[in-house]
Amino acid sequence: MIKTAYFASGCFWGTQYYLDKVEGVVSTSVGYIGGEVANPTYEQVSTGTTGHVEAIKVEYDPEKISYEELTKAFFETHDPTQVNGQGPDIGSQYLSKIFYADEEEKAVAEKLIAILTEKGMKIATKLEPVADFYIAEDYHQNYYDGNGQTPYCHTYHKYFDK
């Protein structure tokens, strides 16, 4: 049975680039979540006034990767301490957030935040219940795979022991 997770960590291009490569991930889509406007466009979200964040919908096989391991990958592929965006992308649409589907997912996220906090990190990632996810325009899907570039605001950092 395939499960779904939703993460926001700045520009969704970089998030998708890294999470697509995680073993057990079946598919990803970029889009918008957490705002007040139905069916927002990139132009609307980019103003920072809709309440949405750029996010990624991850479909994964829980027999190959657990939600906890997937969430670790989310944390390790961006800077979860940045409060106002991600890298050079500044604004409310670029915040770090985990959208949990149930109390179990929320507990996993809280556990991982506690581990990072114990390591001296001041985590800015916010936790919110899953909201309506709106798929982004086609030209945003798998952006880096299509143009041969690599992310400019996402890098990998080993935060957790395996």
Q: Helices in 20-86 by DSSP H: which ranges?
A: 42-45, 67-76
Average pLDDT, the chain: 92
Bridge partners (DSSP) listed for residue 4: 59
Q: What is the pLDDT of residue 88?
A: 87
Confidence band, pLDDT 50/70/90 cuts, at residue 152: low
Length of the chain: 162
**pLDDT exceeds 70 at position 162:** no
**Residues 6 or more apart from 45 whose CB is under 8 A from it?**
32, 35, 52, 54, 93
CATH superfamily of 3-147: Peptide methionine sulphoxide reductase MsrA (3.30.1060.10)
Helix (H) or strand (E) holding 15, with range, is helix 12-19
Active site residue 153: no
**pLDDT exceeds 90 at position 150:** no
Which residue is catalytic, options 11, 30, 95, 109? 11
**pLDDT exceeds 70 at position 96:** yes
CA angle 64, 67, 72 (to 5 degrees): 100
